[in-house]
Amino acid sequence: PRLKRAYRKKDNAKFHPARLIDSNSMFYVRIDRIDQDTLNRLAEDIKTAGNIPNKPQGVIIDLRSAKGGDYALCMKYLPFFRTDQKEKTHFQKIPMVILTGFKTNGAPELLAALLGKDKSAMLLGTPGAGKLFPTKEVVFNGKKWLVPQLDAQWDLSTKSGAVDVEFNPYPQIDYDQIGKKDIRTTDDAIRRACDLLKTITVLK
């Protein structure tokens, strides 16, 4: 079921509210941009799903079409899912998978790398577009160069962003078709993510 109803911003960027998929066993959220409005909606959906009787067994964050947004805001997404918190919520206790692909571009790449770095999540698919960090234009020897701007709090290198399980994550099912079609047979990446999360749950 859909946890929240989708709506549109003034710039026509569509939000994708979280859904419970695979017989309501998996919390699935598609994020297409890192911004404050998306963060607020995600917080609401996590709170709603955390209060239902049959809580999900795993989390899937779909960043395959995510691009742009606020790099600095990535740090505010982390507390929802990082497993190193002293007092863990339900979503910090269950396994998580992040789906990425070559369309994953910019701030969403950074978010995936941060969650993957501390093993809070497994990254599936392919590496992103290669714009993991914001860049600044500098002039050296008369030539213009785009230099990555690293923040010490990210604790990442320019080689970060590798996936744990690599495969072609596309095609990606249209969000509006979720719930209308068997997602396990129409989106191979989500099927793989569900199977992996269930295996991890059994092994625990």
* CA 42 to the chain's CA centroid: 11
Q: Which residues contact 135 (CB under 8 A, 6 or more apart)?
A: 146, 147, 148, 149
Tens-digit pLDDT string for the chain (204 aa): 545 444 344 444 467 889 999 999 999 999 999 999 999 998 899 888 888 888 899 999 999 999 989 988 888 888 887 777 677 788 888 999 999 999 999 999 999 988 888 788 899 999 998 887 777 777 777 777 766 676 766 777 656 678 999 999 999 999 989 888 888 889 999 999 999 999 998 887
Distance between CA atoms of residues 65 and 67, nearest Å: 7
Q: Is 28 exposed, middle or buried (0-12, 13-18, 19+ CB in 10 A)?
A: buried
Distance between CA atoms of residues 125 and 100, nearest Å: 5
Residues in a beta bridge with 123: 98
Q: Is residue 37 a contact partner of residue 9, using CB atoms and an 8 Å limit?
A: yes
In angstroms, what is the C-alpha Rg of the chain? 17
